Copies of this chain bind each other. A is one copy, B any other.
Amino acid sequence: MKLIINKDDLLEGLQNVQKAVATKSNLAILSGILLETLSEDRVKIAATDLEIGIETIISGEVVEKGNIVLPARYLVDIVRKLDDSLIQINVDKQNNTADIHSGYFNMTIHGFSGEEFPVIPWVNEGFDCNLEQGMLKKMISQTVFATSHDESRPFLTGVLFSLQDKLRLVATDGHRLALREASFNSEVEERGVGAIIPSKAVNELIRLLDDEENKQVQVRIGENQVSFQIENVRLITRLIEGQFPSYQQVVPQGYKTRIKLNREELASALERASLIVRGESNIVKQVIQKDKLIITSNTPEIGKSSEEVACLLEGEEMQIAFNFKYFLDVLKVIESEEVTIDLTGSLSPGVIRPVGDDCYTYVIMPVRSH
């Protein structure tokens, strides 16, 4: 293989696929990035850890076709540090080495044959749809943080993509649940399409998606895999098997207490109360009175705090305690100026919603405060 490639194009391509490189695999070749010529001016760059695969196509002058797998940890740093804009890569097929040449710099680096690189399996059949990149990015960022890290319940470690009358993204770790809905134009059979996508893949997807709303991402949901095509970058990931909890039943209907208050004021007050909180349950208590929410925390060996936040109350006064972390997580991803909190009792889940946006619902379990 002989290539002449623009530094910025190569670096962008490498950075796009880099996160799929295996970091802890026994297969040495998976710590590498595949470079493969496709035609006289197109080069494929790919990486996979056998769960996620990312590939992209960049332009370059192909002098001689071929392929090589080069160790990601050296390749990306080397390309980043080059001063000159043109890079020449010459592969010695017999020794599986590549000469990287740029300006007065020359490096020979050991790699693997591209033929031994595992093929990222293609999603042949499945449900196809196009989504807006900016919308999907926002939907993911408002749900993925609620996934579980507990590998003993794998179906909670991913985000549910559910397509029916609406597109719904749902994530829960058993302590809180985030549900984001969006209207959806494609036709879906009545029982709908659902897939649990591993949180790692979803986080990589966020990185690849553009904020702009008018750019599209092509999604194909297959039996065991899903693919996302974002311009010239494709991400493929396995799906998580198992039955996602029926989230509709988790969202309480109605309320006894509803308060409306400023999101940033609430977040600041919770942050201050949390500063002295120690221990796993992270308890911050909330007392709701006529026109104020009183937030208190108490760690006997350190100290205690109390703060009032103005609110509008509809319904009964109430006392409840939450893990502040679960509360702060959601206040960071909501964009509205105000939020509502609906409660039905001190030991029943609360529901947080952004005011003026009925597509987002966050359910949070209270904790016993003594």
Contacts and interface: CB of A to CB of B under 8 A. Distances in A.
Interface string A258-300: 0000000000110110011000000000000000000000000
Determine the interface band of chain A, counting residues with CB < 8 A from chain B. 20 to 34
A97 B305 CA distance: 13
A295 to B, nearest CB: 9
Interface stretch (A14-22, A73-81, A152-160, A187-195): A73-81
A368 interface: no
A97 B334 CA distance: 37
Contacts of A303: 74, 97, 107-110
Interface stretch (A213-221, A306-314, A356-364): A306-314
A306 B106 contact: yes
Interface string A26-42: 00000000000000000
Contacts of A81: 268, 271-272, 275
A83 B264 CA distance: 11
Interface in A92-123: 97, 104-110
Contacts of A104: 269, 307-309
Nearest to A300: B110
A304 B309 CA distance: 63
A77 B274 CA distance: 11
Contact of A78 (B105, B106, B107, B272): B272
Nearest to A81: B272
A305 B272 contact: no
A105 B302 contact: no
Contact of A109 (B71, B83, B108, B276): B276
A105 B272 contact: yes
A268 to B, nearest CB: 6
A151 interface: no
Contacts of A333: none
A52 B78 CA distance: 42
A347 interface: no
Contact of A108 (B83, B110, B304, B309): B304
A150 interface: no
Contacts of A108: 303-305
Nearest to A99: B303
Given A104-B308, A106-B307, A307-B106, A302 B272 contact: no
Contacts of A86: none
B302 A109 contact: yes
A250 interface: no
A175 to B, nearest CB: 25
23 contacts: A77-B275, A78-B272, A78-B276, A81-B268, A81-B271, A81-B272, A81-B275, A97-B303, A104-B269, A105-B269, A105-B272, A105-B306, A105-B307, A106-B306, A107-B272, A107-B276, A107-B303, A107-B304, A108-B304, A108-B305, A109-B276, A110-B302, A110-B303
5 nearest CB pairs, A to B: A109-B303, A107-B305, A105-B307, A104-B308, A108-B303
